[in-house]
Structure 1
Amino acid sequence: MSTTGVVEAGGQEEKRVTWAELYFDLVFVFAITQVSGLLHHDHGPLGLVQALVVFVPVYWCWVGTTVQANIRDVDNLRDRLGILFVALAGLFMALAVPGAWGGRGLLLGLAYWLARVVLLLLLIRIPGVWRGPYGAGVLVSGPLLVLGGLLPDGPRLALWATAALCDLSVPVVFRRRLAVVAYHPTHMPERFALFLLVALGESIVGIGGTAAGARLDAAELAAVAAAFTISAGLWWQYFVYAADAMRHAVEVADSRRDVIRRVFQYGHLALVAGVIGVAVGFGETVADPWRVLEPGAVALLYGGCALYLTTFGYTRWMMFRTVATTRVVAAALVLALAPAMVRLPALVVLVTLAVLLVALNVVEHLKVERAAAAAVSAEESYETAERAVGGPV
């Protein structure tokens, strides 16, 4: 793939994802696996908070590189090397994640700071780049992560949470300044879709990695099939019903900056977090289908799925000011059923969620079919009226 040579129907050159970006993503495959492992180790309330606080800088490092690649032509020696340096820093971060709340906290902080410094240097020729998200990463959130890595758990959590909030808030704080940035409308949706696909890949790992060491009797194979149906159902919701709408929203938006910030930078953080929760839930259920589940495992599966579906309600409202009724209702139903799943066998819990997601996708499919039929009918009626009056209506 190259950033050059493809022209869209409207005459604008289409920016494509480069091979360097795709190689860069491989590091974050490993990083998401490491975050999932951290959550698997402790999925109580504190463990959830700690995993989220660690995930935000990992995610924001990826976002910073993606934005940099969107607003520049990175298919050149300097930028390829820069992306590889950020990938190396990301690999250091991933290696630090399992011990982030122990002896590797400083490594995580230094690796993140290094990534932000490299990204700033790649964009240093842009006037005023210091006064924006890239400068904030170097001057504020990076040092906070380094300092937190030197402190014990309590103060570390406070400083790292502050750093995460800083990273998440800077696009809003510098909203007016970012208004002058020329975002490419096709590259950004493709990059964030790929990142979500990486997270969905972790759900497959959660299924296969867990089941590979099991006996694989009928019950275990049924659990694998149910878990795969859940993963495929999540994929279907995004890539069949949402991805094209998100790309269209960026292309037609009066303010691409706002759509990118709200739908992609923030919305996809929630989508990926939901998928990670489901993936870790698979690790708690697939290998032992008759295991009676504790609240934590149910919360990961059903809470992660509900977060994923609810986020589509948020993104659709941000894009089109319409309500994604079926998905919001489905998310509410998933949450309502979660307490009833506690103390039930894992296989029952998986099959119930799989059935719900299949039903949701069937309902969404019927809605799309009806909308398409209505559009065709309206077009035919218009053409009939044109012929009746002998010209355009």
Structure 2
Amino acid sequence: MEEKRVTWAELYFDLVFVFAVTQVSGLLHHRHGWGELARAAVVFVPVYWCWVGTTVQANIRDVDNPRDRLGIFTVGLGGLFMALAVPGVDGARGVLFGAAYWGARLVLLGLIATGRGRVRRVWFGPYGVGALISGPLLLAGGLLDAQLMGGWARTAVWSVAALCDLSAPVLFRRLLAKVSYHPAHLPERFGLFLLIALGESIVGIGAPVAATHLGAAELVSVATAFVISCELWWLYFNYAADAMRHSLETAESQRDVIRRVFSYGHFVLIAGVIAVAVGFGETVAKPDDALAAGPLGLLYGGCALYLLAFSYTRWMMFRMVSPTRLVAAAAVLVLLPLMVRLPALGALVALAGVLGVLNLVEYHRVGRARRLDEAAIA
């Protein structure tokens, strides 16, 4: 199979989701309770799933043509409407959010259903669920009175819609096994979405500081947060990205790797980075202030979630644990309650230190394994 490359239309489509991720992270600024976290997750699922649906259909079809480009851009418009609705998603804009998602899913269903051969039958699977079940449920939730049950009625309906979307690849796994996938394209696409989330961490670092006094403490805080962002990038792109591509290329069941590692695993990875980005936004501009539990939980909890997600993906790919990342996640969680009374800069330095040690340990472990392999071949 000829290697499939990401098209310019897909990259342009991603720009919509740069804005969408910013809007979703905005839901957590200044509101850090468990209820707000749950609502942000429920809102993020359809945003993410809209992107996943477009990415998969671009993988199994040739989309570098005017018809499919227009289809991708139309889905992008739906994503833009969803992003615009996010700040008021608990109120009147809930209708716009649900209608935009349903419209995007109908477009994706049309693109898939008009395909050729086995691809055409995929519409009975998750694309049909999105267009015929979760999309209408999101619109129905948006039409509910925003004050009904304190707003939880809408969240409950949207949670059911999210579960329908997330469970569809499992329910239709046999059907999806009949589809041929391009193994080089999907790792690149999901890596690009993770870059979008990491870009949000840069916004979280810079935006709050840009309009404030820039003293030495603030500059050190910015530099430390940027180091953390770089360390998160290194953990994925220096080792994990190649392993994920290798797993997809060599797997007996590509369908299972796509579902477990990419669709589900990357949802957790990206959610962790978004939480860290929000934590930066609440931390960097006030390096001398002690952190409240909410921002500290987002910063450290998001980092721990990111590290734990790697252990999940490694087990799903190779049935192997990732001891270094499990230990680092445990260290982050142990440090979390100890950081409550420290200045924000101290919390940033401690987190950067844990991630720095983890990267150094993994660098030496990989280097030693490579030397042993070379010696065995020689």
| TM-score normalized by the length of structure 1 | 0.93
- Unaligned regions of 5+ residues in structure 1, if any? 1-11, 381-393
2:244 is aligned with 1:254:
no
2:160 is aligned with 1:162:
yes
C-alpha contact (below 8 Å) 1:207/1:282 kept by paired residues:
yes
The one of 176, 179, 184 equivalent to 1:178 is 176
2:12 is aligned with 1:26:
no
C-alpha contact (below 8 Å) 1:132/1:170 kept by paired residues:
yes
TM-fit CA distance, 1:17? 0.2
What does residue range 63-142 of structure 1 map to in structure 2 within 5 Å? Answer: 63-125=52-114, 126-142=119-135
TM-fit CA distance, 1:129? 3.5
Looking at structure 2, the residues matched to 211 and 371 of structure 1 have their Cα atoms a distance apart, in angstroms, of 43
Deviation sequence 1:16-68 (CA, Å, 0-9, x none)? 00000000000000000000111114211100000000000000000000000
Partner of 2:228: 230
Partner of 1:146: 139
TM-fit CA distance, 1:90? 0.3
The CA RMSD over aligned residues, in Å, is 0.8
Q: Which letter does structure 1 place at the counterpart of 2:51? A: W
Looking at structure 1, the residues matched to 10 and 29 of structure 2 have their Cα atoms a distance apart, in angstroms, of 29
Looking at structure 2, the residues matched to 254 and 323 of structure 1 have their Cα atoms a distance apart, in angstroms, of 20
Looking at structure 2, the residues matched to 31 and 336 of structure 1 have their Cα atoms a distance apart, in angstroms, of 33
TM-fit CA distance, 1:128? 3.0
Looking at structure 1, the residues matched to 273 and 26 of structure 2 have their Cα atoms a distance apart, in angstroms, of 14
TM-fit CA distance, 1:275? 0.2
Q: Secondary structure at the residue paired with 1:216? A: coil
Percentage identity across aligned positions?
A: 68
Q: Which letter does structure 2 place at the counterpart of 1:49? A: A
Looking at structure 2, the residues matched to 293 and 94 of structure 1 have their Cα atoms a distance apart, in angstroms, of 29
Looking at structure 2, the residues matched to 140 and 240 of structure 1 have their Cα atoms a distance apart, in angstroms, of 39
Q: Which letter does structure 2 place at the counterpart of 1:207? A: I
Looking at structure 2, the residues matched to 343 and 277 of structure 1 have their Cα atoms a distance apart, in angstroms, of 21
C-alpha contact (below 8 Å) 1:284/1:297 kept by paired residues:
yes
2:285 is aligned with 1:296:
no
Looking at structure 2, the residues matched to 348 and 118 of structure 1 have their Cα atoms a distance apart, in angstroms, of 49
Partner of 2:29: 40
2:324 is aligned with 1:326:
yes
Partner of 2:189: 191
Q: Secondary structure at the residue paired with 2:223? A: helix
Looking at structure 1, the residues matched to 45 and 190 of structure 2 have their Cα atoms a distance apart, in angstroms, of 15
Q: Which letter does structure 1 place at the counterpart of 2:49? A: W
Q: Which letter does structure 2 place at the counterpart of 1:345? A: P
Deviation sequence 1:331-351 (CA, Å, 0-9, x none)? 011011101111221000001
Partner of 1:58: 47
Report which of the two structures shows the higher radius of gyration computed on alpha carbons.
1
Deviation sequence 1:314-362 (CA, Å, 0-9, x none)? 0001001111100011001101110111122100000100011111000
Partner of 2:343: 345
Q: Which letter does structure 1 place at the counterpart of 2:166? A: L
Looking at structure 1, the residues matched to 73 and 213 of structure 2 have their Cα atoms a distance apart, in angstroms, of 41
TM-fit CA distance, 1:109? 0.1
- Unaligned regions of 5+ residues in structure 2, if any? none
Looking at structure 1, the residues matched to 105 and 42 of structure 2 have their Cα atoms a distance apart, in angstroms, of 17
| TM-score normalized by the length of structure 2 | 0.97
C-alpha contact (below 8 Å) 1:120/1:129 kept by paired residues:
no
Relative contact order (alpha carbons < 8 A, sep ≥ 6): 1 or 2 greater?
2
The one of 9, 13, 20 equivalent to 2:2 is 13
C-alpha contact (below 8 Å) 1:233/1:358 kept by paired residues:
yes
Q: Which letter does structure 1 place at the counterpart of 2:255? A: R
Alignment length (residue pairs): 369
Partner of 1:7: none
C-alpha contact (below 8 Å) 1:185/1:251 kept by paired residues:
yes
